[in-house]
């Protein structure tokens, strides 16, 4: 139900909209939000929050790779000016 609205439960007292998460503290017990709020992550929800954030960053990285292929290692332009891998992919 919460996934529909893109909120995650960090604690029994807290629901967080992930687009406002600025950082996770070094001990991974708190989220820092863009407005300066510090939100506790319960021991029970810590693993779920970490998995969600990893998935979020993986999605961002994949989108960046599609949008900016020229920055991927081993890429170069072909004769037609298209970005492609410097090594053949198959065989």
Read off φ and ψ for residue 81, nearest 5 degrees.
80, 15
Q: How many domains does the chain have?
A: 1
Residue 76 lies in a domain: no
pTM above 0.85, yes or no: no
Per-range mean pLDDT, top range of 19-23, 24-28, 63-67, 73-77:
19-23
Range of the domain at 19: 2-70
State the Cα–Cα distance between residues 26 and 86, nearest whole angstrom.
Answer: 39
Residue 34 lies in a domain: yes
Per-residue pLDDT of 26-73, as tens digits, reads 777 899 999 999 999 998 888 888 888 887 777 777 777 777 766 666
Residue 78 lies in a domain: no
Q: What pLDDT is stored for residue 36 in this prediction?
A: 92
Max Cα separation, the chain? 58
Q: What pLDDT is stored for residue 38 in this prediction?
A: 92
Residue 52 lies in a domain: yes
């Amino acid at each position: 139900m919460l996934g529909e609205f893109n909120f995650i439960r960090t604690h029994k007292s807290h629901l967080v909209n992930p687009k406002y998460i600025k950082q996770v503290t070094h001990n991974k017990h708190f989220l820092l939000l863009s407005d300066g709020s510090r939100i506790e992550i319960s021991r029970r929800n810590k693993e779920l929050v970490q998995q969600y954030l990893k998935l979020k960053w993986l999605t961002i990285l994949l989108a960046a790779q599609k949008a900016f292929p020229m920055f991927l290692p081993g890429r170069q332009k072909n004769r037609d000016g298209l970005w492609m891998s410097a090594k053949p992919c198959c065989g």
